[in-house]
């Protein structure tokens, strides 16, 4: 389950960054990957659709929301937690 | 070049159904943002807005008119009636041939779209009312104003998102200043507080769930409003000759395009529009006493706007007043500049500066005098109205006390 969350999230981020999933590294930030604020909002939408979850995120205060977007790995962990919370 | 004055104003918006009610709300710093009362609100994550409350279409329009007028058109016609009534003009003969109507709206007949999409997609109906198209089209309001008042000159609708009204009023100003027309009816209207309208904005994740707090460190997004404001712009000599009351003079207008990002604002684009309006009006930065800010309450806008104002005004930026009345009536999108012009006219004519309410905490990136929470008395000779739209399209108007 956990691996599939990771693969799906990385797939979504890779698509947004126009990269192969294998080129997306866990420690990279979205900025490193060239994803801007509009790309971020689109990625979060894709994550919500893919996992049928609600992601708490306000573009006005991205650092203050509970959803950690500081790196690819952080996003994967945040999505795993939301899936566990909302689907468990 | 001709001089242009404002001889009539009208409005219906969350703060009131008339200009006096609205100005009272602005003076009192009244918040007209509250829980949305719309169908399917429970399926929305954003459930607040600046709705026009206590409005009953049947009190103003007959059944045939209601079948043809979307809510944004109804608001426009009510505001136009007040404005033209105050100006005391009737349009016949030569004046009717040259007088026109230029209005701003972003969504046009959004409620009509929403209701009819629901009918065919959700209810599975295969037939819609014959007036759907003439009701929803963006120019419906301008056309109905022209028909109601016999305005046969240049008439059209401007749709530049949040700058629509300012662009529209700028066009009306230029049409009179250049001698093409002696009278123009102008302003803007918006009514997208319907399920589909809010749902679309939710997607962008820039909306606040709890309130509009422009320039305050704890702001967390914009809140939508609805309504209209309409003005009569008139050539100065024409107004003087007939002894019309002049509310303010329109002295400058500028528009710029950021040419950079579809949603993020640009400090340079905003600054160029502000300084362009000053140049057009032949004013110095020190002449400006009040700016009605775009002030949406989003992190991106407020920081950028403050930086742009600081760039243009230098040390004078700390002496002028700048407030966002969106904190009270919400963001009326394509109609917002028109409603906000009422606050500019109030500053010039009555010497009362509308506050930025909901101001809780200073933000080091927005250190200007935002007239926090309480209206202020001050004599102001020149005021600016800022509008910076999604898509990077900016429009700034300059008004002078008369």
Residue B260 sits in the same domain as residue B117? no
Give how far A61 is from chain B: nearest CA, Å. Answer: 7
Report the alpha-carbon angle B287-B288-B292, nearest 5. Answer: 170
Judged by a CB distance cut-off of 8 A, whether residue B200 touches chain A is no
**Which of B213, B241, B269 is the endpoint of a domain?**
B241
**Residue B120 CA to chain centroid, in angstroms?**
33
Assign residue B108 the CATH number of its domain. 3.40.47.10
Is residue B75 in a domain? yes
Q: Closest to B299 (Cβ–Cβ): which among A41, A45, A60?
A: A60
pTM equals: 0.94
Give the end of a domain, one of B196, B211, B241: B241
Rounded mean pLDDT of A21-39?
Answer: 94
**Residues of chain A with a CB closer than 8 angstroms to some CB in chain B:** 37-38, 41, 44-45, 54, 57-61
Residue B246 lies in a domain: no
Cβ of A59 and B206 within 8 Å?
Answer: yes
Kindly report, residue by residue over B112-163, the tens digit of the pLDDT. 999 999 999 999 999 999 999 999 999 999 999 999 999 999 999 999 999 9
Residue B319, domain member (yes or no): yes
Strands annotated E in B13-159 = 34-35, 48-49, 100-104, 156-158
| B140/B202 same-domain check | yes
Q: Domains of chain A (ranges plus CATH)?
A: 2-87 (1.10.1200.10)
Which of A52-66, B39-53, B274-288, B305-319 is predicted least confidently?
A: A52-66
Which residues from A are below 8 Å from B45, CB to CB? 54
Contact residues on chain A for B262, CB-CB shorter than 8 A: 38
Averaged over A34-49, what is the pLDDT? 92
Number of structural domains found in chain B: 2
B213 in the same domain as B268: no
Could you list the residue range(s) of the whole structural domain that residue B90 is in? 4-241
Is the pLDDT confidence value at A19 over 80? yes
Check whether A1 has a pLDDT greater than 70. no
Q: Are residues B292 and B361 in the same domain?
A: yes
Tell me the average pLDDT of chain B.
Answer: 97
Active site residue B162: yes
Q: Tell me how far apart the 2 most distant CA atoms of chain B are, in Å.
A: 63
If asked whether residues B197 and B222 sit together in one domain, one would say yes
The pLDDT, as a whole number, for residue A2 is: 60
Are B215 and B79 part of one and the same domain? yes
First to last CA, chain A: 12
CB B214 within 8 A of CB B53: no
- Domain-located, residue B48: yes
Same domain, B192 and B294: no
Give the tokens for residue B154.
């240049």
Interchain contact, B203 vs A37, CB within 8 Å: no
B172 and B304 co-located in one domain:
no
**For range B222-246, the mean pLDDT:** 98
Kindly determine whether residue A60 and residue B264, on different chains, have CB atoms separated by under 8 Å.
no
Angle between helices B71-87 and B140-149 (to 10 degrees): 40
Interface test with chain A among B205, B211, B296, B366, by most A beta carbons within 10 Å: B205
Structure tokens at B361: 């905490």
ipTM beyond cut 0.85: no
Same domain, B235 and B268: no
Joined tokens for residue B341? 């012009």
Q: How far apart are CA B284 and CA A83, in angstroms?
A: 58
For residue B87, what are its two tokens? Answer: 């100006």
* Contact in structure between B197 and B284 (CB atoms under 8 Å): no
Structure tokens, B374: 């309480």
Q: Which residue, of B179, B210, B241, is where some domain finishes?
A: B241
Residue in chain A lying closest to B209 (CA): A58
Average pLDDT over residues B61-67: 95
User: Are B237 and B295 within one domain?
Assistant: no
């Amino acid at each position: 389950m956990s691996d599939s969350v990771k693969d799906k999230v990385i797939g979504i981020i890779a698509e947004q960054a126009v990269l192969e999933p294998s080129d997306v590294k866990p420690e990279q930030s979205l900025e490193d990957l060239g994803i801007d604020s509009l790309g971020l909002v689109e990625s979060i939408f894709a994550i919500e659709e893919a996992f049928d979850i609600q992601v708490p995120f306000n573009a006005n205060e991205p650092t203050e929301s509970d959803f950690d977007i500081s790196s690819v790995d952080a996003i994967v962990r945040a999505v795993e937690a939301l899936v566990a919370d909302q689907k468990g | 070049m001709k001089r242009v004055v404002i001889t009539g104003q009208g409005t219906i918006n969350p703060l009131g159904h008339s200009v006096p009610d609205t100005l009272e709300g602005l003076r009192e710093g009244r918040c007209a943002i509250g829980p949305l009362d719309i169908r399917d609100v429970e399926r929305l994550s954003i459930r607040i807005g600046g709705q026009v409350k206590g409005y009953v279409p049947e009190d103003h329009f007959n059944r045939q008119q209601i079948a043809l007028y979307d809510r944004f058109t109804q608001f426009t016609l009510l505001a136009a009636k007040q404005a033209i009534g105050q100006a005391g003009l009737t349009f016949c003969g030569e004046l009717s041939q040259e007088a026109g109507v230029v209005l701003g709206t972003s969504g046009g007949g959004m409620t009509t779209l929403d209701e009819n999409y629901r009918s065919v997609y959700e209810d599975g109906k295969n037939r819609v009312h014959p007036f759907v198209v003439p009701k929803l089209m963006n120019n419906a309001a301008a056309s109905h104003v022209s028909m109601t008042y016999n305005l046969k000159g240049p008439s059209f609708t401007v749709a530049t998102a949040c700058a629509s009204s300012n662009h529209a009023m700028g066009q009306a100003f230029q049409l009179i200043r250049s001698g093409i027309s002696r009278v123009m009816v102008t302003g803007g209207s918006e009514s997208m507080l319907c399920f589909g309208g809010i749902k679309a904005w939710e997607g962008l994740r820039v909306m606040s769930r709890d309130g509009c707090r422009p320039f305050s460190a704890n702001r967390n997004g914009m809140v939508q409003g609805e309504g209209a404001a309409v003005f009569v712009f008139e050539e100065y000599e024409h107004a003087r000759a007939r002894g019309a009351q002049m509310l303010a003079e329109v002295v400058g207008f500028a528009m710029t395009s950021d040419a950079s990002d579809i949603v993020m604002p640009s400090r340079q684009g905003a600054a160029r529009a502000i300084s362009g309006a000053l140049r057009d009006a032949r004013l110095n930065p020190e002449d400006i006493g009040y700016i009605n800010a775009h002030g949406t309450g989003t992190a991106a806008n407020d920081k950028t706007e403050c930086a742009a104002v600081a760039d243009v005004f230098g040390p004078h930026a700390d002496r002028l007043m700048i407030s966002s009345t969106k904190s009270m009536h919400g963001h009326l999108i394509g109609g917002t500049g028109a409603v906000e012009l009422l606050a500019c006219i109030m500053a010039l004519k009555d010497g009362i500066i509308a506050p930025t309410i909901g101001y809780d905490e200073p933000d080091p990136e927005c250190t200007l005098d935002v007239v926090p929470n309480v209206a202020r008395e001050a004599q102001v000779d020149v005021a600016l109205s800022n509008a910076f739209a999604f898509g990077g399209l900016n429009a700034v108007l300059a008004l002078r006390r008369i």
